[in-house]
Amino acid sequence: MDLYSGYINKLIAELSILPGIGNKSAQRLAFHIINMPKESVQHLADTMVEARENIRYCRQCCTLTDSDLCPVCADPARNSRVIMVVENTRDLTAYERTHRYEGVYHVLHGAINPTLGIGPNEIRLKELLQRLQHDVDEVIIATNSSIEGETTAMYISKLIKPTGIKVTRIASGVPVGGELEYIDEVTLSRALEARVEL
């Protein structure tokens, strides 16, 4: 037996499709939306539709933007000779929050994952290779430390190394505040390999 009417159930079902939103969260969001003023709901709906219609890929780095170039690519102060390759726009945002990186990015929108049918042609590798036709000194591969991220990093490295462009991989290891006994063996091995002199 359904606990709610058709429209409420439909709203909950649509919200629960979103990543990270389970059934309980979808219910909370649905009732919050239902209790919002009608004008606020309309504004939320209009904003979502406008975002979907106007957001596109940056013509240079492939991140999501509503301009021809994203703010990073449009910034003349950025070092366009150093490109950091990330899996998605959220990863780009994470690095930008550090305020330590002054180069530019390339967003792949995924990682190689043969089990899901995602090969090199399904991510933005062709666009990366086109960018390397210009003056590039270094490509920093900052894909995730997952099997898919590692596979993608190795594939990109093999493609780029013959060009003579320097290829580096971000270090990974023990997180700040992490306790060694709770950290997996792969992470500990990486931390050991990427150790630095004090």
Domain 6-54 falls under CATH 1.10.8.420? yes
40, 32 Cβ separation under 8 angstroms: no
Within its chain, how far is the Cα of 80 from the centroid? 20
Residue 2: predicted pLDDT: 64
Residues of the chain with CATH 1.10.8.420: 6-54
Residue 1: predicted pLDDT: 46
Residue 174: predicted pLDDT: 65
CA distance 59 to 106: 10
pTM confidence score: 0.81
Which residue ranges in the chain fall short of pLDDT 70?
1-3, 174, 178, 180, 195-198
Cβ neighbour number for residue 73 with a 10 Å cutoff: 19
Residues of the chain with CATH 3.40.1360.10: 78-169
Domain 78-169 falls under CATH 3.20.20.70? no
CA distance 160 to 162: 6
Q: CA triplet 74, 76, 78: central angle to 5 degrees?
A: 95
CA distance 168 to 40: 47
CA distance 132 to 177: 38
CA distance 147 to 113: 9
Residue 180: predicted pLDDT: 63
* Residue found under tokens 């629960």: 16
